[in-house]
Structure 1
Amino acid sequence: MSKTVEFFFDLGSPATYLAYTQLPQICQQTDSQLIYVPMLLGGVFKATGNASPATIAAKGRYMFQDLDRYAKRYGVPLKFNPHFPINTLMLMRAVTGMQLRRPERFEAFIDCLFRALWVEGRSLGDPATVAAVLSEHGFDPAEILALTADEDVKAALKNNTERAVQRGVFGAPSMFVGDQLFFGQDRLDFVVEALS
């Protein structure tokens, strides 16, 4: 298996959640490897001068209607999170920490957080809610909190974010097949073509 998809992601993006629901199946069908690369979308926005489409009222309304259309097409649940947007710094440090320190539980970890945000509409900007979600899924909130303070974890997330920007990433989700960048969950058909 020499083909890979590098998936640069931040939990706080609903479009990223939709891509996340589709990429494992795409990689299975194309005999490709999915490489998860957590990054901080706020850091990418700051470095590139970009901003969430939700900051423009008309564009934000359209974006959520369009994402809902795609969710129906994919046959996956999607609920607009009333707490959007949220600061994902601690969440993405936790994700990075799990990838580095507990890789065997990494996919279950991001799955429970994506679902909490984009299916259950929970407030993951609230530490008590995060702790509750983690406990419900068999994770130790104290262990996860410790990961977010780990200097190696912080450095890894920062490095991932800087590397994303250097490679031309300006938003999420961003996927690379080789050196080709594909931005947005609505570009997955091009990812499939690049892998085929």
Structure 2
Amino acid sequence: MTAAIDFYFDFSSPYGYFASTRIDELAQKYGRIVSWHPILLGVVFKTTGSAPLPQLPLKGDYAWRDFERTARFHGIEYHRPTHFPLPTTQAARAVLWLQNHHGEDLAAAFAKAVYHAFFVEDVNIAEPAELVKLADALGIDGRAMDAGASSPQIKEQLKAEIEVAMAKGVFGSPFVIIDGEPFWGFDRFDQIEAHLKSGRPTALRAVAPPDTSKEKKPA
């Protein structure tokens, strides 16, 4: 059986949102499935010492410009959110609860709905009531999801999932691992497709070592 594509994302990540609109289609093209893994960049940043791009000196203004430019270039709907960054913990926990109780497909559909609500409709997804509405629209019992996402079990599961992700080298969103090969960022999707197309552990051209066979040897 072909290995799944591991897709790590944080709902506060614009590039993660862009990737979420493409990852399933790309996987299906090459006969793969996607395992969606919600993470919290705030936890990761405590290890890497980083911060949300718009909050970084000099990089911030560029990042906002690049979000809009990237969306236009790829034909992806995007609206700069009013509330940014914001806590995404409850949304991440909700995805895990849905995976446990309703399966991967519905959980992924919910994740896409959350991303669209935040980066297109400017919905404050940090509000549990908004997540309930999104769930209800998909035929999910939103109140049951909210209660389940707030349970100690799911809280511990998210914590453990993030620890496992970081142990695998995940440090950003989107982060994709295929056949053990890591790819960070939406701008790596061409390389991801090259990898999938080749069917080899890595599709990137390796630089051959210099030929030293003709070098003079010391007398």
Report the TM-score when normalising by structure 2. Answer: 0.82
Partner residue, 2:5:
5
**Any unmatched runs of 5+ in structure 2?**
198-219
Counterpart residue number, 1:153: 154
**d(CA) in 2 for partners of 1:15, 1:92:** 17
User: Could you tell me which residue of structure 1 aligns to residue 37 of structure 2?
Assistant: 37
3-state SS of paired residue (1:69): helix
Shift of 1:149: 2.2
Match of 2:204 in 1: none
For normalisation by structure 1, the TM-score amounts to: 0.91
Code of the residue aligned with 1:64 in structure 2: it is W
Using the TM superposition, give the Cα deviation of residue 45 of structure 1 relative to its aligned residue in structure 2, in angstroms.
1.4
Q: 1:181 and 1:140, CA in 2 relative to 1: closer, same or farther beyond 3 A?
A: same
Partner SS for 1:54: helix
Computed over aligned residues only, the root mean square deviation of the Cα atoms, in angstroms, reads 1.8
132-141 or 9-18, which deviates more: 132-141
Range moving further from structure 2, 61-70 or 117-126: 61-70
> Which 4+ residue blocks in structure 1 deviate beyond 4 angstroms?
none
Distance 1:81 1:146 in 2: 27
Aligned counterpart, 2:91? 91
| Contact 1:100–1:153 (Cα < 8 Å) also in 2 | no
The higher relative CO (CA closer than 8 Å, separation ≥ 6) is in 1
User: More displaced, 103-112 or 167-176?
Assistant: 103-112
Residue 105 (1) aligns with residue 102 (2):
no
1:65-117 Cα offsets, whole Å, 9 max, x none, are 21222212222101111101011111111111111111152122112111111
Counterpart Cα distance in 1 of 2:97 and 2:194: 32
SS of the equivalent of 1:42 reads helix
The letter of the residue matching 2:44 is: V
What secondary structure does 1:8 align onto? Answer: strand
| Alignment match, 1:185 | 186
* Structure-2 change in CA distance of 1:61 and 1:29 (3 Å): same
**Comparing 63-72 and 173-182, the one that deviates more:** 63-72
How far apart are residue 132 of structure 1 and its match? Answer: 3.5
Distance 1:142 1:163 in 2: 29
> Alignment length, in residue pairs?
196
Counterpart in the other structure of 2:123:
122
Aligned to 2:139: 138
CA contact (8 A) 1:47 1:165 kept: no
Distance (Å, rounded) in 1 between the aligned partners of 2:115 and 2:57? 24
Matching residue's letter, 2:123: R
For 1:176, the aligned partner's letter is I
